[in-house]
Amino acid sequence: MTGTASNVNLVVEQQSPGVLLIRLSGNYCDQIGPDVEVVWEALSRVPVVESLSFESSGLTGWDSRFVAFVFKCAELCRARNVELRHDGLPEGVRRLLRLAQAVPERKDVLRSAVKAPFLENMGKRALKGWAGTTAMFTFLGENVLALGKLLRGRAQFRWADAFLVMEQCGPQALGIVALINFLVGLILAFVGAVQLMKFGASIYVADLVAIATVREMGCIMTGIILCGRTGAAFAAQLGTMKVNEEINALQTFGISPIEFLVLPRMVALLLVMPFLCAFADFISIAGGFFVSVGMLDVTPTEYLTRTVSAIQLKSFLLGIGKGCFFGFLVAYTGCLRGMQSGSSAAAVGEATTRAVVTGITAIVASDGVFAVLTHVMGI
Amino acid sequence: MAYGSHVVMREISARVKRGSVFVIMGNSGSGKSTLLRHMIGLLRPVQGDVFYDGRSFWGMDDEARRVQSRKWGVLFQSGALWSSMTLAENIALPLLEYTDWSANDLNDIVRLKLALVGLNGFEDYYPAEISGGMRTRAGLARAMALDPEILFFDEPSAGLDPLTSRNLDQLILELRDSLGATVVVVTHELASIFMIADDSIFLDADTKTMRAQGNPKELLKHSTDAKLKAFLTRGEFSGEAAARPVTS
């Protein structure tokens, strides 16, 4: 039986009854490795094989693929209870083979490739979902307790940290909040103008922009921006701290990570969000103003007068209140996912993604609940 | 060697003999890892060059440097495995990048490399699921993926228990003997230095120079450098320089 590849050659022959010999020659460096199938066929064809030996005097070069071939031959021999004699192999290959066989394969650690039944999978998913929900409520409870301790002045809380976070998610976010909300104001005015012009009611663009902005768009857009910007940053910061065991270090000193790390972020966002929302409202209305005054026959005075008359205090306060709640959601989801992060770089990335997805979903879902509640309450 | 205007080390000149184990030793902060990064082309020396077989590394064009880089494998501190990939994928990635081997061949090589470091059976594990010592060994398996001519190790024993560390040293020697590879190791572990080094250099953070070159056992016997002897005897040598506190 022979297997060849360019300048290399492999021959399996029966040296004596029960003894097979593999003759190898040529240079196996950067060549297709010898085919173990040839050896397998030979072992299958000969009824009784006691040992397998090598003859490699014609071998001029070898690399890892050659060693892998010998390693597979050794496994084949072990499975068939055949003695492998490797004294005919080059010294380096013999050493590597000994090294590779020094630690037997751990069968107990092998991952099973068997697919779990559908019901088992469903059960596991349900348990995982339940554990996730429990963890979310536990985290919420811990935060409420920590907030209570803060109000009583007993929390391990540093205002310097809170002010730093306030600066990062407040003044430093003004640019992006302004840009997005200005564009949203423009879009609202454009969409409204096209429809209202048909009825000669262009002046009501101001009402549309003002009400939509202060009740919905200002707070929701600001919440989403902060979720992508600040919530992701919270998750990445806390996740990295977990990877570096900084959170474990805090706990060993008896310092609560919730009070020391989560609470400052939560408080900072709760305090900053009302101002950011008010700022977003103002900028968005300015966007509508540009479209109305530029495109429609609306004077600046008319626009501003209509805007002021359209905005009710309760609508404005509703928007600000929702903004505060969205701020809480952003901090809550960001910190939750950060604290739940695994201990690898990939886990931190995953935590960041989950923070943004959970945050945005929570904001949109809760806004729907607010819409129903305000309708029922007549606000 | 410098980071911006901060000079880390100057006037280093040493030859590494093919097939030997060459150790870069020195106190913490003496620039051992920085020197290694210069040797593997991650950092460019401010002055001077690194030569492989007499060819200037920084004088080569990008393609030639890439070809040269293929000839070495590097084990970074604590393995530096890619955390989003399994051990098998970690080892297979350089093979996929540089060879056109079949999937079966890749699989065989991955199994062999993991077997060589005693990790057969752990192919489907992620780095986060195994211990620090296993991560280091898996990093070594990855470093060996392309049958390198030179193996670089950056503090391979860092964070390992003495027994695991000794086993790793034995593995390094075994690989040197069986593969015929040249091995360059950065370490300050004296037990490792005396066990594996054929040749070594000693870097000094205070003078920012290379103070000695030679076999560490010979250096310990014959060197008159008090600082070097203090390092090699863990400060038990009672020379004048040894009495001074280490400032690095």
Between CA A155 and CA A160 the distance in angstroms is: 14
- Nearest to A99, CA basis, from A71, A73, A79, A77: A71
Between CA A262 and CA A233 the distance in angstroms is: 13
Query: Which tokens go with A29?
Result: 């460096």
Query: Which tokens go with A280?
Result: 């977003």
Chain A residues touching B127 at Cβ < 8 A: 344
Query: Which tokens go with A244?
Result: 């570096």
- Contact: A33, B112; criterion CB under 8 Å: no
Q: What is the mean pLDDT of chain A?
A: 87
- Contact: A33, B108; criterion CB under 8 Å: yes
How many CB contacts within 8 angstroms connect chain A with chain B?
Answer: 80
- Out of B124, B147, B174, the one facing A64 most closely (by C-beta) is B147
- Out of B115, B121, B126, the one facing A107 most closely (by C-beta) is B121
Whether B177 has its CB under 8 Å from any CB of chain A: the answer is: yes
Q: DSSP assignment, residue B47?
A: S
Between CA B43 and CA A145 the distance in angstroms is: 51
What sign does the dihedral B3-B213-B17-B216 (CA atoms) show?
negative
Q: Is the pLDDT of residue B243 over 70?
A: no
- Tell which phi-psi region holds residue A240, choosing left (phi > 0), alpha (psi between -120 and 50) or beta: alpha
pLDDT of residue A2: 44
Backbone angles phi, psi at B238, to 5 degrees: -95, 45
Q: Is the pLDDT of residue B165 over 60?
A: yes
Chain A residues touching B109 at Cβ < 8 A: 64-65, 68
CA distance A243 to chain B (A): 10
- Contact: B121, A110; criterion CB under 8 Å: yes
- Tell which phi-psi region holds residue B221, choosing left (phi > 0), alpha (psi between -120 and 50) or beta: alpha
Residue A58 bridge partners (DSSP): A25
Q: Which residues are within 8 A (CB) of B6 and not within 5 positions of it... i.e. 6 or more apart?
A: none
Q: What is the mean pLDDT of chain B?
A: 85
Chain B residues touching A244 at Cβ < 8 A: none
Whether B243 has its CB under 8 Å from any CB of chain A: the answer is: no
Between CA A88 and CA A71 the distance in angstroms is: 14
Residue B212 bridge partners (DSSP): B202
pLDDT of residue A96: 86
Cα–Cα distances in Å, from A92 out to A72, B109, B124, B178? Answer: 17, 16, 28, 4
Low-confidence ranges of chain A (pLDDT < 50): 1-5
CB atoms inside a 10 Å sphere around CB A377: 7
Tell me which of B83, B104, B131 to substitute to probe the interface with A (most A C-beta atoms closer than 10 Å).
Answer: B83
pLDDT of residue A115: 76
Whether B171 has its CB under 8 Å from any CB of chain A: the answer is: yes
- Give pLDDT tens digits for A297-329: 788 998 899 999 999 899 999 999 999 999 999
Tell me which of A28, A65, A353 to substitute to probe the interface with B (most B C-beta atoms closer than 10 Å).
Answer: A65
For β-strands B182-186 and B72-75, DSSP reports them as unpaired
Contact (Cβ atoms closer than 8 angstroms) between residue A242 and residue A345: no
Residue B185 bridge partners (DSSP): B23, B153
Average pLDDT of the residues in B148-168: 85
Q: How confident is the model at residue B247 (pLDDT cuts 50, 70, 90)?
A: very low
Query: Which tokens go with B165?
Result: 């560390």
pLDDT of residue A6: 52
pLDDT of residue A112: 66
pLDDT of residue A3: 45
ipTM confidence? 0.73
Q: Is the pLDDT of residue B199 over 90?
A: yes
pLDDT of residue A29: 78
What sign does the dihedral A37-A38-A42-A45 (CA atoms) show?
positive
pLDDT of residue B215: 92
- Out of B112, B126, B179, the one facing A100 most closely (by C-beta) is B112
Residue B199's SS3 state is strand
Q: Which residues are within 8 A (CB) of B10 and not within 5 positions of it... i.e. 6 or more apart?
A: B1, B208, B209
- Give pLDDT tens digits for B45-98: 888 889 998 889 988 888 888 888 888 888 988 788 887 789 999 999 888 888
Query: Which tokens go with B169?
Result: 């040293």
